[in-house]
Amino acid sequence: MTLTLSLQADSGIILASLSAIETGAKTKSQEKADFKVGAAGEISRYQILPSVWRDHNYSASRISWIPETNATNPDSSFLMAERIISSRATRFKQVKGRDPSPFEIYVLWHRPQEAYSGRIKARTKERAGRFENLYYALMAEKK
């Protein structure tokens, strides 16, 4: 049985898990993780490619525009990461006819095409497993 989740209800835990996996971020406050730049130019504690950041800004209304220069701001990067994962989860539901599991949320984040196709590479599975374990640990702490 695959457990699905409510992105709306669980977004804080989902994104805390993502930032911990991607950059080691441990708090909601600004920290070193917010300034990390990945090998491919990824920005913020969530390691978002600048092109993905821009794409999700252009698809949003100007009212909720979040400049890339705000990537080091935890609140701004949280909103952008939430926008991206919500968009990908919506697409996943259109393709698969169901909500993604926590494991699939990470695959959607890191390699969305693998999530849509269901052909997930071993390295992605390993990271998604770590994400899933962290997600459940944070959920248990919340209770």
* Domain region containing 116: 7-142
Assess if residue 2 is contained within a domain: no
Assess if residue 28 is contained within a domain: yes
Assess if residue 81 is contained within a domain: yes
Query: What does the buried/exposed string (b/e) look like for 19-32 if buried means 16 or more CB atoms within 10 Å of the residue's CB?
Result: bbbbbebeeeeebe
Assess if residue 126 is contained within a domain: yes
Assess if residue 63 is contained within a domain: yes
Selected residue with higher pLDDT from 47 and 1: 47
Domain count across the chain: 1
Assess if residue 1 is contained within a domain: no
CATH number at residue 19: 1.10.530.10
For residue 39, give both structure tokens: 């090998």
* For residues 6-30, average pLDDT: 87
74-96 vs 50-58: helix crossing angle, rounded to 10: 80
In 3-state terms, what secondary structure has residue 61?
coil
Predicted model pTM: 0.89
Residue 1 scores a pLDDT above 60 = no
Assess if residue 47 is contained within a domain: yes
pLDDT digits (tens, 9 = 90+) for 21-30: 999 999 999 9
In the chain, what percentage of residues exceed pLDDT 90?
77
Q: State residue 37's pLDDT score.
A: 96
Assess if residue 122 is contained within a domain: yes
Q: State residue 143's pLDDT score.
A: 73
pLDDT digits (tens, 9 = 90+) for 85-132: 999 999 999 999 999 999 999 999 999 999 999 999 999 999 999 999
Residue 63 scores a pLDDT above 80 = no
Distance CA 124, CA 143 (A): 29
Dihedrals phi, psi of 70, to nearest 5 degrees:
-90, 10
Q: State residue 4's pLDDT score.
A: 47
For residue 28, give both structure tokens: 């909601």
Distance CA 126, CA 70 (A): 31
Alpha carbon 88 to its chain's center: 9
